[in-house]
Every structure is written in structure tokens, then in C-alpha cells.
Amino acid sequence: MILACHPRGGSTWLSEIMLHLQNSVLIDEPLWRGHYQSVNYMPTAKEGKLKSLSKLGFYFDQPIPCEAKWDEAREILEKTMKGEYWHYDLYNKNNILSRKKADIYITKFCYAHLMLPWIHQQFNLKSIVMHRHPCAVIASQLQHAAFQKIVKNPAGALPHFRYNDLYERYQPIWKKLDNPESFLAAIWAIKTKYITEQPPPQMDCLTLYYEDLIVDFANQIEKINLHFQIKLPESIYQQKEKPNTSTQTQALNGEQQLVKWKSILSNRQINSIMWVVDAFDVPIYGPELMPNYPRS
């Protein structure tokens, strides 16, 4: 199974919920290609978890169109999702013995939105895509050390990489990005727009919203159970109040968690983020805390 979220979009919390499944193992962000820096920065061969992906020249969020034939990428992803690659950073969320006895492989992708429909075309699997408000995602990113390499002015011309025409389509926007939050908003927007505009038959995918998981936990868990035809154990209800391992802060109640970004971001930053989201024409979120897209 696949869990697809944005970095700092609730992926760790969701994966820790799913790890309550007996004999499951988490494969953690195999597509990570290093830290975001600017539009025109191409990750080097030394960056990322899997060197085989580096040799293919993957960008930070690599697109692969549904109709593409890329046998090398397919082979690497198949081996990855079957747990055939060994790299400590892929399995550091698990017990050391869990990989050997696993029956269920859960792959957490934070950089797969632009190839997820293609992955579904290649493999018979089910996935969850979880969205979170762009301001909440970016507020969390800006506070995290992993995002401190973004240059003050991250705009620029795109580097050359395979299937980069999806990015080229928005070149006028990339050239206007003048601060880290607008750059991160553009990444959020291009990924969210692509994945939400895919025709439903292309993916056996459940769409969740982080905000719904906060305020309506039990019903969202039931949706997960129905989608995967599983029964998550009662122990997952302890996870609702437990801070995940990606943060050092104490757990917040639902309302506090939803409004937290408003106390982190300035009005200028919020306006900058939402301008980019509007420029990409992504209607899922507006100034309100909850998503305004029809939720199922």
C-alpha cells in the first residue's frame, strides 16, 4: 500500500497509524532527493536515499506521465515497494526485525504525487492521498531544519530533466517566486493540482484530508478500513492524541492543531502562499481552516 502526502503534511502521523497493522513494515520516503533549494537547483548524484534513482536523474518531485514507458524506473520502484533495497533511512521507523517478517509493505511517499497515477498503471495496489492546508504545511516546513537550504530568492529557470514539461507549463509563475514560502507553495500547488485532476478510474486511491482526520478521526479510520479491506486495531485510537515522532512538541488538541499556522505565518506570508495557490487554480483550500472541496 502507498501513503502519499506532502512533506510536513501529516505523513508521519498517518504512517504511524497504519503501522498498527500486524506484521507491517514502513518504507520511508524512497524518492527523497535531498533538500529543496531553488527552482533551478538539480539534485546531485550524491543526494537522496537511493543512488539508483540518482542515476536516473530524478528531480525533487519527478513527474512520470500515465502513458510513459520507463522500464528502469518501474524496476527500481517495484524493488523498493517490495522491500528489496536495504538502506537504513528507508526503515528507520521500524523495529529492526520487522523487515524480515513483514507481510504488509507500506510505502510512504512525500514526493510521488506527479507519478502516482503512473505507479497505479504499473502495479496492482491501493493508495491513500492525504491533503493538508498549504499554509499549515508550509508553516511546518519553514520551522523545520530540513527546509533551511531554500535560498532567499528561489526563482529561476527550470533545469532539464525527463518529463519536465509539466513544470514548464507554469514557467511564468516559477520566475515570480521571490521568497521561500512562495516557492514551497508552488511545489504544494503543482503536486496537488495534478493529483486532484486525475480521472478516478486511473487510481484505486482514497482521498483523505488532514483536517478531517483531526476533527473526525473515527470516521476517517473507517474509510481506511473499507478502502483496504482491513481492520485497524483499537490501539490506533491512542494515536489520535499522541505526538508523532517527527515533532518534538507536545500533542495539541484538534482546534489548536488546526489554527497553529495562523500564529506562525505573517499576513504577508499567508497572502504570498494563497496568491500562488490561486495562480495554479487549486480550489481545495481557501482562507478557511477546513477544506472547501467536496469530501467523501
Percent above pLDDT 70 for the chain: 90
Among 33, 177, 170, 211, residue whose Cα is nearest residue 110: 33
Domain 2-279 has CATH 3.40.50: yes
Q: How far apart are the first and last CA of the chain?
A: 20
Give the residue-averaged pLDDT of 107-125: 95
Give the model's confidence band at 294: pLDDT under 50 very low, under 70 low, under 90 confident, else very high.
low
User: What pLDDT, on a 0 to 100 scale, did the predictor assign at position 109?
Assistant: 96
User: What pLDDT, on a 0 to 100 scale, did the predictor assign at position 86?
Assistant: 75
For the stretch 46-64, pLDDT in tens is 888 888 888 899 999 999 9
User: What pLDDT, on a 0 to 100 scale, did the predictor assign at position 214?
Assistant: 93
Which residue did the predictor score with more confidence, 95 or 280? Answer: 280
Q: What is the DSSP string of 125-193?
A: --EEEEE--HHHHHHHHHTSGGGTT--SS---PPPP-TTTHHHHTTHHHHTT--SHHHHHHHHHHHHHH
For the stretch 161-197, pLDDT in tens is 999 999 999 999 999 999 999 999 999 999 999 999 9
